[in-house]
A and B are shown apart, each in its own frame.
Chain A
């Protein structure tokens, strides 16, 4: 596609439920990133996939968070047993050959606005 596509755009869930957020990156972009944006907190790095390498999970805030990337393309971020503090905008970005010889600029999706009630 022409841009990074994220779904759903909005998600309201009850505390304790699991949610799955989807990201479809730009075709040909080998790097994929998940960030979380909370009011007043800026963009918080969560996880990064580069090609076939093991993902960098260093930003995941707890073991309730996990992500996978299938076939080097679509990625799913899963949050288990959601808590109210998980409410935020979850942004996905992709880039060309990130984390190798050069750091390229990211193209972001519009995000998924998650509200845990």
Chain B
């Protein structure tokens, strides 16, 4: 079992829809949870950063972490065509590097 699992999709939604992206992780020592967005032929960019459990909201984006079930979610409200990208979840502990999921490719149709 990989340490971070993510459904690669692809996921296609109409403009204005609520998007739910999910990951699971296996290492109980992970305390840091991040979401990155990657446009085609670009490097990933940090979208959301969460420490431990709970919710974090930034504009149309909400990140949720449930450490009891080792479940990470990203919600996008009122999705826009410009949100079309690959979304990568990542987790790690205070020592070492981030472990990334494979990424979910999202397409928002106008």
Contacts and interface: CB of A to CB of B under 8 A. Distances in A.
Interface residues of A, number: 27
A99 B100 contact: no
B67 interface: no
A36 to B, nearest CB: 11
A4 B43 contact: yes
B42 A110 contact: yes
A12 interface: no
B97 A42 contact: no
A62 interface: no
A43 B43 contact: no
Given A42-B88, A45-B97, A105 B49 contact: yes
Contacts of A102: 32, 94
A91 B100 contact: no
Interface in B15-74: 31-32, 34, 36, 41-46, 49
A101 B96 CA distance: 10
Given A107-B46, A108-B45, A40 B97 contact: no
Tell me if B's interface is mostly helix, strand, loop or mixed. Answer: loop
Contact of A99 (B6, B44, B88, B97): B97
Contacts of A99: 94-97
Interface residues of B, number: 26
A110 B42 CA distance: 5
Interface string B83-110: 0000010001111111111110000000
Most chain A CB neighbours (cut-off 10 Å) among B32, B36, B41, B96:
B96
Interface in A10-63: 33, 35, 40-43, 45, 48, 56, 59
B100 A43 contact: yes
Given A40-B8, A42-B88, A43-B88, A103 B98 contact: yes
Top-7 shortest CB links A-B: A108-B43, A42-B102, A43-B100, A105-B46, A103-B32, A110-B43, A48-B97
